[in-house]
Structure 1
Amino acid sequence: MTSLPVCGPEGPLRVPDRPSHPSPVRAVLFDFSGTLFQVAPYADRIRAAMGSPVDESAMDALLAGLEAGLTDPEVVAAQRGRDVSAAAHRHAFTTWYASVPGLAPVADALYEQLRAPEHWRPYADTEAALEALTRQGVALGAVSDVGWDLRATFAHHGLDRYFSVWVHSYEHSTEKPDPALFAYACRQLAVEPAETLMVGDHPAKDGGAAGSGLRSYVLPAGAAPGAVRGLDAVLRLVPPAAL
């Protein structure tokens, strides 16, 4: 392989030529929350956990308390490394919920909702995108920073059949963008990183897959549960002609 000269005060003076045609995408890895699914709104979950009516003013106060809790030092500390184990994940969320006095009695119930398949909704275009990729012969895997096994949630919505590999951060004691997670998914799918696309909604965690030799596509944040997520863009990145 030849090299091209690079002039500069720092770094290598020569870099290898890049191939003129990138490898075709043979596999796509998807993040879970905010990418393929979104959890039900907190107001709905709070009412379900409390088991009694909550008027709008009281609900506004509870939601404001949750928002304020995100800056509470104890809550912030609990979020560090939250996805490296099931125990750390539970602690992170229950600490946050309990930071609101009115929610402290139902903190555990709210966390169990987070793990419950029925409280998650796939985006409106999730299944269509997974079906199209599968029909094109693309292998699919899920790579998520999470504290529980996601297969039951996908199965509840009839979407588990599209996936061959599940990589849960808590089972590997690390979080994205650790190269170990992406490398494990690629090995399980029998593809090279250069043949793999990571799709998510977090620029550092999901976009960080590029540092492991994968391609990456980061969706904009903020899509509501059940909305169209814009996953058709993934299909344009994996054209049938390339397969």
Structure 2
Amino acid sequence: MTTTGTSTIEAVLFDFSGTLFRLEEDPTWFDGIHDADGTPVDGAGAAELMRRMTAPVGETVEFDDATRHAWRNRDLDPALHRQAYLHVLAQSGVSDPQQAESVYGRVIDADSWTPYPDTEAVLKRLARESVRVGVLSNIAFDIRPAFVDRGLDRYVDEFVLSFEVGHVKPQPEIFRHAVASLGVDPAATLMVGDSAEADGAAQEIGCCFALVDPAPTSERPDALLTALSAFGIR
């Protein structure tokens, strides 16, 4: 528990994608992958593809009614998630079904995600301060292995995943579920995320909020530590 100014932080909720971890393309993921014109997907093309696959809000390609429904509900149902992202890949030029499935498989493999440089340090700091930790994510696959395989799961008290709880950010219900599961008051809770729209909605139930930039991991060495320091957790 950390006191700063007029508030006491008893728990911190972290977004996953673009906050604690980032999906960063490995060149080998796109070996043999070509767009509709036969051009290899690499470099800037691969980076743009990852941006479209990981954008927290908005629509990154054109959709029809069915695929728009899948996109808008992708984080509530694994089947809709698959449909939505295979559509994004097809619209981005990866029209070969086998190639699209290969890229999609990387997205839903928790071990494909890279932790930010200060992720481990932040989680350990909170543990030392006896501040409870939740990971609150709009997602349709289990991200726990990304933490388990790096020995970080011991620092997370609760995983609140949209496809498991039936609500998505920015709906207030998912934030209420998270603070209830941690046994803390919203006013004593800090939400850290990369989307003012999705994660910042935690403020509607009374939580504090800190925004971080979902920059590449090599360009964001200490944003999480800085965010916590602003709330007296040093």
Shorter-chain-normalised TM-score: which range? 0.7 to 0.9
Residue 83 of structure 2 aligns to a residue whose secondary structure is helix
Cα distance per residue 1:194-223 (max 9 Å; x no partner): 000000001100011101111111112333
Cα distance per residue 1:119-156 (max 9 Å; x no partner): 11101111011111111110000000000111111111
Q: Which moved more, 1:227-236 or 1:26-35?
A: 227-236
1:186–1:72 distance in 2 versus 1, CA, 3 Å: same
Match of 2:23 in 1: 39
Q: 1:58 Cα deviation (Å)?
A: 2.1
Match of 2:62 in 1: 72
TM normalised by structure 1 equals 0.78
Residue 105 of structure 2 aligns to a residue whose secondary structure is helix
Aligned equivalent of 1:176, options 147, 160, 169: 169
Would you say the 8 A contact 2:134–2:156 is kept in 1?
yes
Aligned equivalent of 1:92, options 84, 89, 96: 84
Quick check: 1:59 aligned with 2:41? Answer: yes
CA distance in 1, matches of 2:26, 2:60: 15
Cα distance per residue 1:147-169 (max 9 Å; x no partner): 01111111112211100111001
RMSD over aligned Cα atoms: 2.8
CA distance in 2, matches of 1:33, 1:102: 26
Match of 1:126 in 2: 119
Would you say the 8 A contact 1:223–1:229 is kept in 2?
no
Unaligned regions of 5+ residues in structure 2, if any?
53-58
Amino acid in the other structure paired with 2:86: T
Aligned equivalent of 2:6, options 22, 40, 61: 22
Would you say the 8 A contact 1:78–1:95 is kept in 2?
no
CA distance in 1, matches of 2:207, 2:97: 42
Cα distance per residue 1:178-203 (max 9 Å; x no partner): 11111111111110000000000011
Cα distance per residue 1:69-122 (max 9 Å; x no partner): 933234655422221222221211111123324553222222221121321110
TM normalised by structure 2 equals 0.81
Would you say the 8 A contact 1:201–1:219 is kept in 2?
yes
Aligned equivalent of 1:155, options 141, 148, 166: 148
1:213–1:118 distance in 2 versus 1, CA, 3 Å: same
CA distance in 1, matches of 2:135, 2:113: 16
Cα distance per residue 1:24-46 (max 9 Å; x no partner): 00000000010000113164422
Q: Percent identity?
A: 33
CA distance in 1, matches of 2:179, 2:68: 33
CA distance in 1, matches of 2:45, 2:118: 32
